[in-house]
């Protein structure tokens, strides 16, 4: 086997420029020849959270980046990153343990949003009375508390290889919350938001992620980051993210 571009998860099996090995329980389940292929790889695609740390430690380039895997999964790390980077966001605080949780109502009047640390396991909850508050505080640790932003518009932006490739927009109109719908990427009023997003994902090394924004109190606020879906609605059809990544590889851009 010769060095090149290698994938573990099977998502890019359609891409002839990449050798796919599949995900196995441990690194020792790969043959000596396959380990040599991984060590000499130009890039390892979709190493999964199981092995991403390993290639990062060995300075072997991966996609998505190890940073992306960490941030996608942890709301705690997301909020710390947003805070330190200076990104605009709603008032937010992380509370650890029962002693800190007793102070939540001193800093956040109803209604507010409570979230658990794992983005995949814990849903956001709008807390507007004591019963819901006590239930959420008891079952989540740490707990992330965020002001309930009075937003008029939300935008989800799909970022792949440090570029914005798709956007979905949701409005509140006449008291109704409309569905997320594809929106043109060249909308003049989105240009500043797209530039902020591009700058952020490049600085934070987030190369395969969805960032959700909300407009309220006269400005845009970064709400959260999530794992991107395979299929993303566009005005011209549906973008298959895996096929898009394959095209980036075949064109030499990734």
Sequential pLDDT tens for the chain (254 residues): 446 899 999 999 999 999 999 999 999 999 999 999 999 999 999 999 999 999 999 999 999 999 999 999 999 999 999 999 999 999 999 999 999 999 999 999 999 999 999 988 888 999 999 999 999 898 889 999 999 999 999 999 999 999 999 999 999 887 788 899 999 999 898 999 999 999 999 999 999 999 999 999 999 999 999 999 999 999 999 999 999 999 999 999 99
Instruction: Decide if 243 contacts 112 (C-beta within 8 A).
Output: no
- pLDDT of 3: 60
Q: What is the CATH number of domain 91-147?
A: 3.30.1490
Shared fold status for 91-147 and 150-250: no
Task: Kindly report the CATH class assigned to 150-250.
Answer: alpha beta
- Partners of 234 in the β-ladder: 237
Q: So where are the chain's domains?
A: 5-63, 91-147, 150-250
């Amino acid at each position: 086997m010769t060095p090149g571009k290698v994938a573990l998860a099977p998502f890019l099996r359609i891409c002839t420029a990449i050798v796919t090995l599949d995900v196995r329980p441990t690194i020792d389940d790969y043959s000596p020849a396959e380990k040599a292929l991984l060590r000499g790889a130009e890039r390892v695609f979709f190493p999964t959270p199981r092995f991403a740390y390993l290639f990062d430690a060995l300075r072997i380039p991966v996609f998505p980046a190890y940073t992306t895997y960490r941030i996608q999964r942890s709301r705690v790390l997301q909020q710390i990153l947003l805070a330190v980077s200076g990104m605009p966001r709603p008032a937010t605080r992380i509370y650890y343990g029962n002693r800190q949780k007793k102070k939540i109502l001193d800093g956040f009047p109803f209604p507010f949003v409570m979230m658990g640390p794992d983005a995949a396991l814990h849903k956001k909850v709008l807390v507007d009375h004591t019963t819901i508050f006590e239930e959420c505080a008891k079952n989540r640790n740490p707990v992330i508390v965020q002001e309930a932003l009075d937003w008029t518009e939300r935008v989800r932006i799909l970022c792949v290889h440090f570029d914005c490739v798709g956007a979905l927009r949701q409005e509140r109109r006449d008291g109704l919350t409309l569905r997320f719908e594809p929106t043109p990427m060249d909308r003049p009023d989105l240009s500043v938001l797209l530039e902020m997003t591009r700058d952020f994902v490049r600085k934070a090394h987030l190369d395969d992620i969805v960032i959700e924004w909300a407009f309220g109190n006269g400005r845009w606020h970064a709400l959260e980051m999530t794992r991107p879906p395979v299929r993303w609605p566009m005005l011209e059809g549906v973008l298959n993210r895996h096929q898009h990544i394959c095209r980036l590889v075949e064109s030499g851009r990734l």
